[in-house]
Amino acid sequence: APDGPVHAGELLLRTASASLGVLLFAFTTPVSDVLPRLVRAGVPAPVVDVALVMYRIVFLLLDAQSKVRQAQAARLGATTRAAVWRSMAGLGATSFVRAFDRAQRLQTGLAGRGYDGTLRVLLPEAPVSRPFLAATGGLLAVLVALTLVLERLLP
């Protein structure tokens, strides 16, 4: 198509801006603050609870994996190809066992605290800054106006 490169450029710009917006949100908003607020948005509470538990346990398991990997490297677990495969199998087995142990301890701890099906999390107060909201609204209005002007100027 003769206007194919223009459409491809528009698509590239749209996807880049959407990706940058998602990355900005991901880098500036803690997941532990976002997930509990999803219940108010209509996401079922059990789904949010599972996501919170998985989010917290993933970092614990990654830390345990790095410690096991360091221990294996200290015992020369990566000198030959066979040793690497043996070390990887041991790492997988150890991670699997530690994950089940961690889950069992988590379940025991929740039962000891009277878990009734929902995890209650204290959410910090989220203050609203009126100057920030005004500046953000102004920036969005400028971007929309600039987009409309450029859309009319460019063929």
Q: What is the mean pLDDT of residues 8-35?
A: 89
| pLDDT attached to residue 24 | 92
Q: Is residue 65 within 8 Å of residue 81, measured between CB atoms?
A: no
Condensed to tens digits (0 to 9), the pLDDT of residues 62-96 reads 888 888 888 888 888 778 888 888 888 988 898 88
CA angle 73/101/32 to nearest 5° reads 90
Q: What is the pTM of this model?
A: 0.56
Mean residue pLDDT of the chain comes to 86
- How many Å apart are CA 118 and CA 1, to the nearest integer? 55
Number of H helices, E strands in the chain: 5, 0
| pLDDT attached to residue 146 | 92
- How many Å apart are CA 132 and CA 26, to the nearest integer? 19
- How many Å apart are CA 25 and CA 36, to the nearest integer? 16
**Is the Cα dihedral 144, 148, 151, 153 positive or negative?**
negative
Q: Is residue 79 within 8 Å of residue 102, measured between CB atoms?
A: no
